[in-house]
Amino acid sequence: MDFKEIIASRRSIRKYKPENPPEEWVEELVDCARQAPSPSNRQPVGIVKIESEERKNALHEAMVKGRDELLDACEKQGNKKMKNRINVYYRYADFMFSAPWLFLLGTVSSKPGFAEHLKQAGLTEDGNQEQAPDDITVGLYLGNMLSKAAELGLGTCVLTAPMKFIPNISEILGLSDMQPKCFLTAGYPDEDPKMPTRKPVEEILERI
């Protein structure tokens, strides 16, 4: 498959075969991730493979608790539509615990960037390092991992829905220096979803 075929063949997979892919492919995925560009080459991204059943169970419990709290709040509001929506999104989060591989990606502290240098020189008011460049970098790491996984015949799915159910992921996992951004599942696909529609090039691209 050429590059375009690989990226076009990739689908979000939510049902996996139970077999584990070869463990050395984990390093292969991360090796591809780290080739991504980053602001001033700061490489502000961390990738955690969550293997411990104890930690997975702790996350799962927190996810159920988070969902139940949201459902209770909906019940009080009498908001049935939102209740259904929460249950749907819960299903789009909960499957991550049945995937052979589960990763967490997030931003980690790194050298000061341009925004911080400007602030330190007293040239801007902005006290916080801007998050956007680091978040973009997480996306670039993900893109490389997803493409490599597709080339290896692995299914993957990026998940951010769990973040809405579990507010304290770092605390539960004991990760003091990570701002979690998304989970990523991977494994051999046990489903073959159709390609969802995409906007045509002309709708996305504007020449001005």
Binding site for ligand FMN (CB under 6 A): 11-12, 14, 92-93, 157-161, 182, 193, 196
Residue type, 192: D
Q: Smallest gap, in angstroms, from Cβ of residue 40 to ligand FMN?
A: 24
Q: Is the torsion defined by CA of 172, 167, 94, 96 positive or negative?
A: negative
Tell me which residue of 74, 52, 47 sits closest to 183, measured CA to CA: 47
CA angle 69, 71, 72 (to 5 degrees): 65
Based on CB atoms, which residue is closest to ligand FMN, 18 or 196? Answer: 196
Q: Smallest gap, in angstroms, from Cβ of residue 181 to ligand FMN?
A: 8
- Contacts of residue 146, defined as CB under 8 A and 6 or more positions apart, other chains included, come to 10, 156, 158
Based on CB atoms, which residue is closest to ligand FMN, 115 or 138? Answer: 138
Compute and round to an integer the Cα radius of gyration of the chain.
19
H-only helix segments in the chain:
3-9, 24-33, 53-77, 80-94, 114-120, 132-151, 161-165, 169-173, 201-204
Based on CB atoms, which residue is closest to ligand FMN, 11 or 34? Answer: 11
Q: Smallest gap, in angstroms, from Cβ of residue 158 to ligand FMN?
A: 4
Q: Smallest gap, in angstroms, from Cβ of residue 202 to ligand FMN?
A: 20
**In whole angstroms, how far apart are CA 26 and each of 23, 79, 109, 155, 195?**
6, 43, 23, 13, 26
Please give the residue whose beta carbon sits closest to ligand FMN in the complex. Answer: 161
Q: Smallest gap, in angstroms, from Cβ of residue 107 to ligand FMN?
A: 14
Q: Smallest gap, in angstroms, from Cβ of residue 146 to ligand FMN?
A: 9
Based on CB atoms, which residue is closest to ligand FMN, 77 or 87? Answer: 87
What is the signed CA dihedral for 64, 65, 69, 71, rounded to 10 degrees? Answer: 20
Based on CB atoms, which residue is closest to ligand FMN, 74 or 184? Answer: 184
Based on CB atoms, which residue is closest to ligand FMN, 115 or 157? Answer: 157
